[in-house]
Structure 1
């Protein structure tokens, strides 16, 4: 099961769209999901570790995969690749 971490900010205008996308995809795909506020110590640590300068930022299995709101097609493709890697 892939692990999705979405780095967000309370003042981010695009973050609600990214949150909605990942929550919708959880209905179709099985993955663990958490949201981390960039203004928290955990969020700051993630941002520094991955050199993130903008939110929303999606980290899949410990790797920065998307900055901004990915298209549904791109997000699904990334999930499908991760699921196949784990199965194969």
Structure 2
């Protein structure tokens, strides 16, 4: 199961759209999801580790995958690539 972390900021205008996208995709796909405010110590540590300079930023399975709000099709493709086939 993929692990999705969304780095966001309370002052970010695009972040609500990114949050909505990932929450909608959780209905269709099974993945672990958490939101981390970049202004918190945990958020700062993640931003430094992944060289994040803008939010929203999506980290999938420990890799910075998207900066900004990804197109739905791109987000779904990223999830599908990390999903285990049935019976695996």
Q: Report the TM range for the smaller structure's normalisation.
A: over 0.9
The structure with the largest helix share of the pair is: 1
TM superposition shift of 1:13: 0.1
TM-score by length of 1: 0.95
2:83 partner SS: helix
The CA distance in 1 between the partners of 2:32 and 2:49, in whole Å, is: 20
1:75-86 to 2 correspondences below 5 Å:
75-84=75-84
Q: Which residue of 2 aligns with 1:4?
A: 4
Gaps of 5+ in 2: none
Gaps of 5+ in 1: none
TM-score by length of 2: 0.95
Q: Which residue of 1 aligns with 2:49?
A: 49
TM superposition shift of 1:40: 0.1
**CA-based RMSD:** 1.3
Deviation above 3 Å: which 4+ runs of structure 1?
A: none
